[in-house]
Structure 1
Amino acid sequence: MQAFDDDLAAVRMAAPKGRPNHKWDALVEGDRVDSPGITVTEAHLVQWAGLTGDWVSLHLDEQYASQTPFGRRIGHGPLTLSVGLGLLTQTGYFSNVAAWLGLDEVRAVQPVFIGDTIHVEATVRVARETKKPDVGLWTLDYVVVKQDGSTVMTFTSSFLVGR
């Protein structure tokens, strides 16, 4: 019993583990970071429309959408982009972002349908020091992929990250 108590005391004394605290130097050019996935639901489409005012019938009206080339409702492009950005933050590499600098080269390659599961595969294009000693720059190429391995969206995003 004493050995158990000693082990328990050692566990309590160990440094707590929490969210990773990655800094700028955690990634270098060429590194790839993969996100967890999420299954897009009708609730995502309705909530996005309510949040943004994007009440386009292609996303919310099944009857209308059934008459389009897609044959059914599709997710909003900006929703896919935002979810892609959010999914990558779940990796822990973005806990020290000082500033988001923006997006480039956004391309919607194919639609995301209700029930599709998407994740992000991102590659570090640029990891460089800046003139400011407390931050470095990351530019990542995002590829949003669905369950069959096909690409649904690509974009590039840049961040200033604490050093």
Structure 2
Amino acid sequence: MHGNDARPASTTLPLPKGRPDHYWEDLVAGDVIRTAGMTITDAHLVQWAGLTGDLVSLHLDETYAATTPFGQRIAHGPLTMSLGLGLMTQTGYFSNVVAWLGLDEVRALAPVFIGDTIHVSATVELARETRKPDQGIWKINYSVLKQDDSTVMTFSSSFIMKRK
């Protein structure tokens, strides 16, 4: 033993821990994944506009946005979608993506305001094998929700995943 350490000295180091590996087999059709939340800030809107060149007054100009039916600035639709994809990535289920196949059926249903907290509830629509024995496909339906669980956006996205 070393000093005040009550544990015996070990000659083997513990294995490092990190995000678990998830593979195609880890999700089946009907599974639901719920993400952590993220509160939308002014910085999100300004940085997204600068990154993408999407400099629309509805997102950046408080005076103009006050004259719109929303009465205030709203988040860019593609920002909301990208944050939804990112929140799903944080779940760890995408550690073995081979390829992203695309995005379909994007619908913006309600505005996201500065101060809203969004999260994703996603349902696996399809989990199918491919001709390649080391790969499978997931099609996932996303619902981006606000803090009151109202849906602000829906879309689907498909991925080729490694198999075990």
Both proteins in one fold, TM over 0.5 = yes
Total equivalences in the alignment: 161
Q: Equivalents in 2 of 1:120, 1:158: separation in Å? A: 16
Provide the TM-score with structure 1 as the length reference: 0.94
The alpha carbon displacement at 1:15 in A equals 2.8
3-state SS in 1 of match to 2:7? helix
Q: Equivalents in 2 of 1:38, 1:23: separation in Å? A: 26
Q: Give 2:161's aligned residue.
A: 161
Would you tell me which structure has more helix in proportion to its own residues? 1
Deviation per CA, 1:120-142, whole angstroms, max 9, x where unpaired?
A: 00000000100112210000000
- Mean CA deviation greater in 55-64 or 17-26: 17-26
Deviation per CA, 1:37-96, whole angstroms, max 9, x where unpaired?
A: 100000000000001000000000000000000000000000000000000000000000
The 5-angstrom pairing of residues 2-13 of structure 1 reads 4-6=6-8, 9=10, 13=13
Q: Give 1:117's aligned residue.
A: 117
Q: Equivalents in 2 of 1:5, 1:95: separation in Å? A: 34
Q: Equivalents in 1 of 2:126, 2:13: separation in Å? A: 40
Q: Equivalents in 2 of 1:37, 1:9: separation in Å? A: 40
**Structure 1: stretches of 5+ with no match in the other structure:** none
The alpha carbon displacement at 1:116 in A equals 0.3
The 5-angstrom pairing of residues 8-157 of structure 1 reads 9=10, 13-157=13-157
Provide the TM-score with structure 2 as the length reference: 0.93
State the identity %: 67
Q: Equivalents in 2 of 1:30, 1:89: separation in Å? A: 19
